[in-house]
Each structure stands twice: as structure tokens, then as C-alpha cells.
């Protein structure tokens, strides 16, 4: 019997060849107008060649003002469709499914790329790299931290336009051929900002209690579900907890996940943190599988399929998580940057011999190398 990790998984009408998912990982390498380049083709193509079941393209912004950095990908105009379709076509040609994460940076927008400091853009960036600041928006006029710009509080008209922008981006993603769409509602970006009492102090229908703060995220999730074909799944990435006493707690996200299930969302992608800092600066100990309990809670308490992520670096750990029923899918990120062939190596680590699952251009050579080594007694 094949291990669960390397067994197919079916979500609606989509069957993944295995349960290994490449997390969305921003590359900050788009053109100034949000277009992907050959870097993106190679980045996502190598993960498909490496054997993943589902490859997510990084957080892709629905408006120019929704970018986190000047290097973020965009899907705010029809011209973006064709270069993204080129990536999708290659990913699918290698047997993987293709996913895209749609997002808006909100008050965390207009920042420098990580290797430039991950701090707000200023006049120096304009002078050195022709990268100008832009106005950031949020549910409330509450800055992320000292020294960060105070966002412009969104009006009801702004909220209506945001929903239209998500709908337009989803239609473009569909035109590009993506199998899966994911709503980015985590890591301190705009949708997470509406969910969290740390950043949302509105007093209208889109703020206040948990139901009010959930309203816009649920409305957008429902829009995506209505646009996305019935035979293709919709994911939502959440920050299950804010790691702050006054922020989102696990019971809030369980309630959100139950409501997402009601509008037809299929999978909750379980991360954490980021509401007032970087998502990788979690305020909890970071050990192997440190966020798996969040995926387990979504699966068992909310009754919805979940994806585990966070320092899952070994096939044995990934298989154990699945065997114990703690998640339905396993997402790997930086481990795939270290080893794009991680899914193929996982098969061998879990006892599947041979190279029949490798691309024939590689497997043909590797099979013969093994035979040659055996013949020589090495």
C-alpha cells in the first residue's frame, strides 16, 4: 500500500497525483507593471518537474495598489493572463496541478523587497531604483507598527470596488487555466486585517464583533466560489492565531472556517501570525511541524479539509501528519527551494523504488546510473 503522502487526493473534480503542495512563495521579481518573467517560469516549472501534486504561484495582487512590494506579481489587467498561462501550461504538462493565490497587501503595501530591508518605501528608493511609494489602505486608519504609514480607511465604496477587483482577478486566473484559486487571508495583509481586532476597529457592518469582521472575507470567498467552476477547488489561507492576546484566537478561526465551508470553500491552508510584523517572525517556538495543530483543529473542529504548513522538512514527518489524520495535504515552501525534487525524493524515502515517477528525461539516466553502480559493486 502506497504511503498517504504519495497517494492521489481528489478535491471536487480535481485529482492531485499526490498530497504534496508547493506553498505560495513571493519572489519579488515581477516587472514594474506586475508581469511574470522567465524567472517565474523556471521557479514554478522546476517544482512541477520535481513531482509536487499542486504548485501554487505566489501571492498575486488584484490591483497595483495592492502590491506588497514593487516586485509583486499582478493580475489586475488582461495582459497578465497570457504570461501566467505560459507558466500554467508548463506546470500541467509535467503532471502537476496549478494554483494561484490572490491577495491585497493592505496596510503592509508599498514596502521594500526583503533584500532591501522589508521596510516602507521612501524617497531613497525612488532615487536609487525608481520605486515610488503609493497610498496604502486598510479597514481602519491603524498603522502596522511605529514608523509605518497610516493606511487610508476604506469607505463602503472602496469595499465594493475591492470585491469587484477580486472578481475580475479570479476571472483572469480562470482564463489563464489555473486549477485552484486561493484567497490570501493571512500574514497581516488586507483580508487578515479585516478579520483581526488588532487592525479592524470599524464600527459599521464590516467591523465590531467577530461576525462583522468576518463579513468582507466571507463575501469575497463567496465571490471566488461563484466564479470558480464547480469541479475546481477553492482554498483560503488563514493566520489561525495572531500570537497576541488582543488578536485572533484559534476559536475565531474555527468559526471562520465553518463559515467558509458553508459558502463552498474546500481547503483551509493553515499558517499563523503576521498581523503586526513578518509572518516568519512568529511569536511561538518554531520547530518541525509547529503549525500542524492549527490544521488539525480546522479538520476536526470545523469539519473542513486542511493543509498543514510550517517546517515540515522530512517525508517521515509529512507521512505521520497524514496518517494521524491531522491534515489532508502537506505544503512545503523553503524546503522546496533547498530541494525542488523533494516530492520525488519523498517517494524513495517512503519505500517506493525506481525512477518511473521522474520525468523520463531524468529517470532514464538515473535508472542506468543505479544499474551501473550495482554492476560495479559500488
As annotated, the active-site residues are: 189
Q: For the beta carbon of residue 142, count every other beta carbon within 10 angstroms.
A: 17
Look up residue 364 and give its three cell numbers: 532514464
Amino acid at each position: 500500500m502506497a504511503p498517504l503522502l504519495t497517494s492521489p487526493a481528489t478535491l471536487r473534480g480535481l485529482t492531485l497525483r499526490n498530497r504534496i503542495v508547493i506553498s505560495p512563495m513571493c519572489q519579488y521579481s515581477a516587472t514594474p507593471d506586475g508581469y511574470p518573467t522567465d524567472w517565474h517560469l523556471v521557479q514554478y516549472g522546476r517544482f512541477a518537474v520535481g513531482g509536487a501534486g499542486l504548485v501554487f504561484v505566489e501571492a498575486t495582487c488584484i490591483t497595483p495598489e495592492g502590491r506588497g512590494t514593487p516586485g509583486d506579481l499582478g493580475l489586475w489587467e488582461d495582459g497578465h493572463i497570457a504570461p501566467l498561462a505560459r507558466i500554467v501550461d508548463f506546470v500541467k504538462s509535467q503532471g502537476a496541478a496549478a494554483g494561484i493565490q490572490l491577495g491585497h497587501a493592505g496596510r503592509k503595501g508599498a514596502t521594500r523587497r526583503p533584500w532591501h530591508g522589508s521596510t516602507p518605501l521612501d524617497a531613497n528608493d525612488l532615487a536609487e531604483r525608481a520605486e515610488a511609494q503609493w497610498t496604502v489602505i486598510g479597514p481602519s486608519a491603524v498603522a502596522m507598527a511605529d514608523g509605518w504609514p497610516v493606511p487610508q480607511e476604506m469607505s463602503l465604496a472602496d469595499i465594493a470596488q475591492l470585491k469587484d477587483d477580486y472578481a475580475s482577478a479570479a476571472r483572469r486566473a480562470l482564463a489563464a487555466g489555473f486549477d485552484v484559486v486561493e484567497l490570501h487571508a493571512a500574514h497581516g495583509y488586507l483580508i487578515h486585517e479585516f478579520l483581526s481586532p488588532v487592525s479592524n476597529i470599524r464600527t459599521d457592518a464590516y467591523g465590531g464583533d467577530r461576525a462583522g469582521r468576518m463579513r468582507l472575507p466571507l463575501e469575497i470567498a463567496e465571490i471566488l466560489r461563484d466564479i470558480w467552476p464547480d469541479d475546481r477547488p477553492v482554498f483560503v489561507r488563514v493566520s489561525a492565531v495572531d500570537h497576541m492576546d488582543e488578536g485572533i484566537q484559534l476559536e475565531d478561526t474555527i468559526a471562520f472556517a465553518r463559515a467558509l465551508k458553508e459558502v463552498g470553500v474546500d481547503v483551509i491552508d493553515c499558517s499563523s501570525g503576521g498581523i503586526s510584523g513578518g509572518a516568519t517572525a512568529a511569536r511561538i517556538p518554531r520547530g518541525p511541524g509547529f503549525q500542524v495543530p492549527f490544521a488539525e483543529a480546522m479538520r476536526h473542529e470545523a469539519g473542513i479539509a486542511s493543509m498543514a504548513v510550517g517546517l515540515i522538512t522530512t517525508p517521515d514527518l509529512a507521512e505521520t501528519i497524514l496518517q494521524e489524520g491531522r491534515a489532508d495535504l502537506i505544503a512545503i515552501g523553503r524546503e522546496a527551494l533547498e530541494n525542488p525534487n523533494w516530492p520525488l525524493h519523498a517517494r524513495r524515502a517512503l519505500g517506493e523504488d525506481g525512477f518511473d515517477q521522474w520525468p523520463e528525461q531524468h529517470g532514464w539516466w538515473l535508472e542506468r546510473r543505479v544499474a551501473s553502480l550495482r554492476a560495479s559493486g559500488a
